[in-house]
Amino acid sequence: MTVTLQPRSTRFKERVTLLYEPGLRRNRFNQICNGIAGSFALIAVLPLFLVLIYVLIQGGRLISPQLFTGLPPAPGLSGGGIGNAILGTLLVTLVASMIAIPVGVGGGIYLSEYAQKGWFAQFVRFGNDVLAGVPSIISGVFIYGLVVATRVFFEQSYSAMAGGIALAVLMLPTVIKTTDEGLKLVPQELRWGAYGVGASRFVTITRITLPAAFTPIATGVVLGIARAAGETAPLIFTALFSPFWPEGVFNPIATMSVLIYNFAIMPYEAQNELAWAASFVLVMMILAANLLARWISHLTRT
pLDDT of amino acid 226 = 87
Q: What is the dihedral of CA 233, 237, 243, 246, to 10 degrees?
A: -100
Bridge partners, residue 156, by sequence:
153
Tell me if 159 is assigned to some domain: yes
Give the distance, in angstroms, between the CA of residue 194 and the centroid of all CA atoms in the same chain.
Answer: 34
Tell me if 9 is assigned to some domain: no
Nearest Cα to Cα of residue 247 among 76, 12, 84: 84
Is 13 a residue whose pLDDT tops 60? no
- The pLDDT of 232-246, averaged and rounded, is 91
- The pLDDT of 65-81, averaged and rounded, is 87
Is 101 a residue whose pLDDT tops 90? yes
**254 and 85 Cβ atoms separated by less than 8 Å:** yes
Tell me if 128 is assigned to some domain: yes
Tell me if 64 is assigned to some domain: no
Tell me if 252 is assigned to some domain: yes
Distance CA 182, CA 173 (A): 14
**285 and 229 Cβ atoms separated by less than 8 Å:** yes
pLDDT of amino acid 10 = 53
Distance CA 101, CA 107 (A): 10
Nearest Cα to Cα of residue 89 among 229, 250, 223, 275: 229
- The pLDDT of 263-278, averaged and rounded, is 91
pLDDT of amino acid 2 = 52
Tell me if 92 is assigned to some domain: yes
pLDDT of amino acid 166 = 94
pTM of the full predicted structure?
Answer: 0.83
Nearest Cα to Cα of residue 99 among 147, 33, 53, 55: 147
Report which of residues 29 and 296 the model is more confident about.
Answer: 29
pLDDT of amino acid 294 = 81
Averaged confidence pLDDT in the chain: 87
Alpha helices in 70-187 (DSSP H): 83-109, 119-133, 136-143, 160-184
Amino acid at 51: V
Tell me if 35 is assigned to some domain: no
Percent of the chain surpassing pLDDT 90:
41
Is 290 a residue whose pLDDT tops 80? yes
Q: Spell out the residues 6+ positions from residue 89 whose beta carbon is closer than 8 angstroms to its own.
A: 229, 255, 256, 257, 282, 285
Percent of the chain surpassing pLDDT 70:
92
pLDDT of amino acid 278 = 92
Tell me if 247 is assigned to some domain: yes
Give the chain's domain count: 1
Q: Spell out the residues 6+ positions from residue 269 whose beta carbon is closer than 8 angstroms to its own.
A: none
Domain coverage including residue 212: 83-301
Is 268 a residue whose pLDDT tops 80? yes
Amino acid at 135: P
3-state DSSP assignment of residue 263: helix
Is 4 a residue whose pLDDT tops 80? no
pLDDT in tens, 128-152: 999 988 899 999 999 999 999 999 8
CATH number at residue 145: 1.10.3720.10
- The pLDDT of 106-126, averaged and rounded, is 87
